[in-house]
Structure 1
């Protein structure tokens, strides 16, 4: 009897808090869902609890909760003020506007700031955006208009951030796959280059040793 009452009380308190603080609700949602997307991506690569990159999960948590949620909250508030009606026509309009404004901004921010959070340079972050933005935006423009049309036309404003955050779980996993795939490719290229360099050095050492032997033989004669 006590447990159900406690659960109901906690649910009531959460609803009260969430309704009073929609931004905080969105930040909490993203703090959980974004690292979850990162874990899904790593699991797809065959990793497990012993091999997960937990620092990567932490970066996704920080970026999702501290950057994406506040900017998305501001965007939702802005669009709700500009188009307060909730119907299909307005929903489609908002979704289309988002694809030429907030959408490119969000994708660019992801690749740029995630690269910086990894400790890489500003120039590398710029190159990351140039290489990966086109593919991500191409996929996003096919998916997000549908999601946002539903969001803007059917979901109450106070629940829109959470709705989008759930939908973005799959999107985050997709972005993480693009990000890490290229990182793996770069690592493989570096490994190949390192191997070639080592082979070249070994050849040079062998050549130098041969020259030394020839010189010694010539001097012995």
Structure 2
């Protein structure tokens, strides 16, 4: 019997990030949906305001980025649970901006953009990650091979590294990395990744893996 892959969204409860099951697919089914969306979708430009997936932009997997400026980028699922909460920008003045976020957008999700004139949504072509995992949501078996890895943050960056199992239960939830304003993160994390697990990177540009 094929295992079910749980697509996760994030909810914030009493300051703790917890997973909420949104839909279930096998890895093969999930990859097929990704491939079909990639073929059918085109790059879309949105700006400050509120947008609905399925009305203003097609469902699919996208790399979200900006060419200038800095502002807030939020995504909520159809139950108004937060999926993404990032400061999106080009980090030109050494702030805490995230340059790209890679996410799945599902029918009915709500996108909120604030303080940005242009936000680009570029369809993501699936490929295995080898040396780094950037901000966003990633699936073991679809985006990265199962196995044992050592994760570290880029110098001067700090953020959240979370891994959830196929039932939506947390396996890893760490603040990784240190910077001038926050030095409570760990320097490195050992990850034992299994197929169907979901990795979420938030608040830093990427983690390095080896």
- State the TM-score, normalized to the length of structure 1: 0.23
TM-score (norm 2): 0.24
Q: Which is helix-richer, 1 or 2?
A: 1
**Greater share of strand residues, 1 or 2?**
2
